[in-house]
Amino acid sequence: MKILFVCTGNICRSPMAEGILRNKFGNAGIKVETDSCGFESFHVGDNPDKRAQAVCGKYGIDISRHVARLFRKQDFDDFDRIYVMDSSHYYSVSRMARSAGDMTKVDYLLNIIYPGKNLPVDDPWYHDLQAFERTYKQLDAACDSLIEMTGPGKEDTK
């Protein structure tokens, strides 16, 4: 299975989610590919926000080598699941969809925990380290649920 996370600049929420999930899948021995991207071109080529790196590092997850990139139409072909962090990302992804089939891969990340609620993952960008910690906890809980959904024997081996 291949999973993509999408946020605004690809320097906070989505690389944190990517790192958390990659770590959890690795620890569980599940073969899954993860990636992340965004829609704001200002950060293309940047590494994750230092606060995101610090919070992930606190939990033994190194996201420092991630390089921000933009979402592209090809991502619909390259990934089995595309998880967005909020409604603006959902809208942006839907505008790039080539068909209704593309959108069957897309969902709000927190719908894994709260089905059909379309709740946003808190954006910590304009806040302090505690906000990044809260966002980490939201992402961690969603990733735990993803592990349960795709545990041994359930993963797609494409």
Residue of 7, 12, 37, 56 marked active site: 7
Considering only CA atoms, which of 105, 118, 124, 111 is closest in space to residue 11? 124
Residue of 46, 80, 123, 144 marked active site: 123
Q: What are phi and psi of 13, to 5 degrees?
A: -60, -50
C-alpha to C-alpha distance for 107 and 81, rounded to whole angstroms: 8
78 classed as catalytic: no
> Encoding tokens for residue 133?
């910690």
72 classed as catalytic: no
Q: What are phi and psi of 115, to 5 degrees?
A: -50, 130
7 classed as catalytic: yes
Residue of 13, 22, 51, 81 marked active site: 13
Active centre residues (catalytic): 7, 13, 123
